[in-house]
Amino acid sequence: MSAVVDECVFCRIIGGQIPAEFVLKEAEFVAFPDINPKARVHLLVMPTAHIRSLNDIDSQDAGFGQRMLSFVARAAAVSGVSESGYRVISNNGPDGGQEVDHLHLHVLGGTLLGDLV
């Protein structure tokens, strides 16, 4: 592994060095519960490859974004929130609140979510 991947907590979870209970795991994407949930269901969905942020999506193949969103929908269904509704959030960069430099989406649901602003 590269030094960046070795230091990335999400890469270490994906690689099995840090235990996690995956809600859904496929070759290209994984979903697991956030350790500090903001809703009854709060998943982190991310690519298995180390991609830093949404700013790096264009360097992926043309179907990457669609496949990731389809995976989000499957993870929401497995978690039982697809019918009642859920919110998908991406914190991008330091000012956007991104704490781990590995592209990830927050999927929140299972309760009525209030306004963000």
Q: Which residues are catalytic?
A: 104
- In the numeric block, which tokens belong to residue 18? 């840090």
CA distance 108 to 10: 19
Longest dimension (CA), the chain: 41
Burial label for 12, CB within 10 Å (0-12, 13-18, 19+), is: middle
Cβ(45)–Cβ(107) below 8 Å: yes
Instruction: Give me the count of residues in the chain.
Output: 117
